Amino acid sequence: MRYQAHGFIPINFPPARRNMGVAAGITIVKGDVLQDDGSGYATNAATAFAATHFGVAASDRDNSAGAADALDAEYYPFDTKTQYIVPVSTDALITRTAVGTFCNLGNNDDLDIATNPTEGIAFRVDDIDVSAEAIAANTFGYAIGHFVVIGTQA
């Protein structure tokens, strides 16, 4: 298993990549969750899922000095079949009790297992990885799961 410090990394076959122009002054890192900035450009500024979220960055894109749409961001669109492995951001090691729960973002690139969204987009935990290698890479372990839409939003 590959352990990353940040980001949602697909572990099975994600949907075909798409492109979207990057908002001005934004640096996107592979694995960031992306959203529409309200003007039709990709940003990674949010730390909670919303209806404006559309996918996971498939590569890095530095537009920190560019105008909006100067660069395109490649991303995997949200779907309910792709499984991702993602670091846990909370202050406690993830446990088996998290399996089956719905979680929100901790930051734009990790998971807050203490949340329980009831509306919109959420990340459903299917499994966990708290192996010695996983904990060495991220103190709180990793969640393995997929995105879901709950309630009526999104």
89-100 pLDDT tens trace = 977 899 999 999
- Number of structural domains in the chain: 2
Task: Tell me, yes or no, whether 2 lies in a domain.
Answer: no
DSSP state of 14: P
Residues 146 and 90 in one domain: yes
Say if pTM beats, i.e. exceeds, 0.85.
yes
Q: What is the mean pLDDT of residues 77-106?
A: 94
How do residues 37-57 score in pLDDT, each as one tens digit?
Answer: 999 999 999 888 888 899 999
Q: Which domain holds residue 57?
A: 14-77
Residues 6+ apart with CB under 8 A from 24: 41, 63, 66, 67, 68, 70
Positive or negative CA dihedral for 122, 104, 146, 108? positive
Residue in the structure block whose two tokens are 């446990």: 95
